[in-house]
Amino acid sequence: MKIDYIKRNCPICGSKSSKEEIYSKSRAEKTEFSLLKEIWNGFFKEKIIFTYSRCNKCKTLYCPTFFSNKHLEELYGQMPANMDQVPLSALKKTQKGYFDFLKKHSDLSGNFLEVGPDIGLFTENCVKEGDYQNYWLLEPNISVKNELKSVVSGKESSIIHEMFDFSKIPDNSISTVVIIHVMDHLIDPLEYLESMKKKLKKDAKILIVTHDEKSILRKIFKIKWPPFCLQHPQLFNLKTTENFLNRLNYEIIAQDKTKNYFKISFLLKHLLWGFGLKINSVPNFFGITVGLKLGNIITVAKYNG
């Protein structure tokens, strides 16, 4: 049995000192990679995660043992298409909510950079209502290229299929950075934003959306809270996000809990699943969509150069 996961210090402050907080009955640290791959893809019933510990110094919640970059390349490279049945109209409403938050705190001009835009549900709001000159979109998933291209058609834009490659972006040129549901996934989030800094103008705005590990849902579901999973080497809350950004010389402008929009039937199904009832058919409730503050947080901060 070959197990070669990596050991990590706190990804934000580097401290080695932490206290265990959330773990599964079988721990991923002691589970073979081949089985974790099945779990990653959702083909296994038992929940197995890497243990989450809280940094004693900066209070970030993170996994002191996690997949190596090599593992992650393999895992993300073979992932089946997202099968979650949240309808497009609901996803669009959620992203519009994020956009309205940015709009409140930014003049929507200059050059725009987004990491992981997927099919461009956030980006399309910027194209419609913003006044950006140039769009830089870092999207590793090649299969969304055409959809993304059509979102920015008529605008100056570059789609780069590599999340870590900022080399084509001119230094000191970006006025807005948008990073939605990415920071939870990165092994080294601090290093990632550090390496992006030289591309930013002084006073650039950053918008970050992540899960909230201090949310009520997390308290209700405990280990069953979905963001406790193999995809997230760390999880943030409002305070640890602020601390993280302060370290990079960002100043917080505004933070909030965000709404996610769902069809009622989808929520009911997942609620029943949460209680262990595997029911696939529930009434449609006329396809009504509701917005719930379901454990995500949004932050806008200003880069002080």
Nearest CB to Zn ion, comparing residues 155 and 247: 247
Angle between the 33-40 and 69-77 helix axes, to the nearest 10 degrees? 40
10 contributes a contact to Zn ion by CB under 5 A: yes
180 contributes a contact to Zn ion by CB under 5 A: no
Q: First vs last Cα of the chain: how many Å apart?
A: 48
Q: How far apart are CA 11 and CA 65, in angstroms?
A: 12
* HSE-CB of 186 using CA atoms within 13 angstroms: 19
Q: How far is the CB of 178 from Zn ion (least distance, A)?
A: 25
Q: Which of residues 13-42 bind Zn ion (CB under 5 A)?
A: 13, 15
Question: What are 129's two structure tokens?
Answer: 């209502």
Nearest CB to Zn ion, comparing residues 16 and 30: 16
Q: How far is the CB of 229 from Zn ion (least distance, A)?
A: 21
Q: How far is the CB of 57 from Zn ion (least distance, A)?
A: 5
Label residues 29-64 b or e (16+ Cβ within 10 Å = b).
Answer: bebebeebbebbeeeeeeebbbbbbbbeebebbbbb
Nearest CB to Zn ion, comparing residues 260 and 299: 299
Give whole-number Cα distances, 220 to 27, 34, 144, in Å: 21, 31, 35
Question: What are 95's two structure tokens?
Answer: 């992203």
Binding mask 40-69 for Zn ion (x = CB under 5 A): ---------------x-xx-x---------
Q: How far apart are CA 176 and CA 208, in angstroms?
A: 11
Q: Applying CB under 5 A, which part among 11-19, 157-165, 220-228, 275-283 lies near Zn ion?
A: 11-19
247 contributes a contact to Zn ion by CB under 5 A: no
- The residue whose two tokens read 């001119």 is 170
Nearest CB to Zn ion, comparing residues 15 and 150: 15
Label residues 198-207 b or e (16+ Cβ within 10 Å = b).
Answer: ebbbeebbbb
For Zn ion, how many residues bind (rule: CB under 5 A)?
8
Nearest CB to Zn ion, comparing residues 17 and 158: 17
Q: How far apart are CA 225 and CA 242, in angstroms?
A: 23
Q: How far is the CB of 18 from Zn ion (least distance, A)?
A: 8
Q: How far is CA 74 from the centre of its chain?
A: 19
Nearest CB to Zn ion, comparing residues 98 and 244: 244
| 8 A C-beta contact, residue 136 and residue 126 | no
Nearest CB to Zn ion, comparing residues 48 and 58: 58
Q: How far is the CB of 10 from Zn ion (least distance, A)?
A: 3
Q: Applying CB under 5 A, which part among 12-20, 168-176, 230-238, 287-295 lies near Zn ion?
A: 12-20
Q: How far is the CB of 60 from Zn ion (least distance, A)?
A: 5
Q: How far is the CB of 172 from Zn ion (least distance, A)?
A: 30
Nearest CB to Zn ion, comparing residues 14 and 170: 14
Q: How far is the CB of 58 from Zn ion (least distance, A)?
A: 3
Q: How far apart are CA 297 and CA 282, in angstroms?
A: 29
Backbone phi, then psi, for 117, in 5-degree steps? -70, -10
| 8 A C-beta contact, residue 198 and residue 171 | yes
Residues near Zn ion (CB under 5 A): 10, 12-13, 15, 55, 57-58, 60
